[in-house]
Amino acid sequence: MRVFFSRLSALASLLTAVLLFSATAPAHAQSSASDQQKKEYYSLFVTDYRSDNFKSALRSADWLLKHAPTYPEGDARIYRRAYNSYLGLAKNASSDAEKRAYVDSALTLAKRAVSEVRAAGGQVDEHTWIQRRKLR
């Protein structure tokens, strides 16, 4: 009986170790974006943005801003297009409250752009973003 519990305990320890390892492995894998992921999200983003499908574009932009903010050219183009997407949604908003929410999101993004692009090692024109904060 003692041998049975000893083996059961060893099996439980092994199973626990396997579960812990498998639970932490995906989280680590998600922390760094692959080139393929960047290309896929950027492609979706640009396609939706150019089609004026701003809500869908912003879903891709959200991922890009978190994982690849200066992709693909090392600049602020994702921020600019996300900013313009919010303004496009504001233009087509059905209520004043909805319009204000989209404009507020655009302004918040404009305030973050310079510091986040620089932190990611990208090029950004601070003067342009100061002007965007004033909303054209």
Residue 61 CB partners (closer than 8 Å, separation 6+): 45, 78, 81, 82, 85
CA proximity to 114, closest of 84, 74, 77, 76: 76
The mean per-residue pLDDT over the stretch 17-23 comes to 40
Query: Distance from first CA to last CA of the chain, Å, rounded?
Result: 80
Residue 32 pLDDT grade (very low, low, confident, very high; cuts 50, 70, 90): confident
The mean per-residue pLDDT over the stretch 113-124 comes to 95
Poorest-pLDDT segment among 4-13, 17-26, 49-58, 108-117: 17-26
Q: Given a cut of 80, is residue 36 above it in pLDDT?
A: yes
Is-contact 78 111, C-beta < 8 A? no
Greater confidence, 105 or 18?
Answer: 105
Q: What is the pLDDT of residues 58-96, one digit of tens each?
A: 999 999 999 999 999 999 999 999 999 999 999 999 999
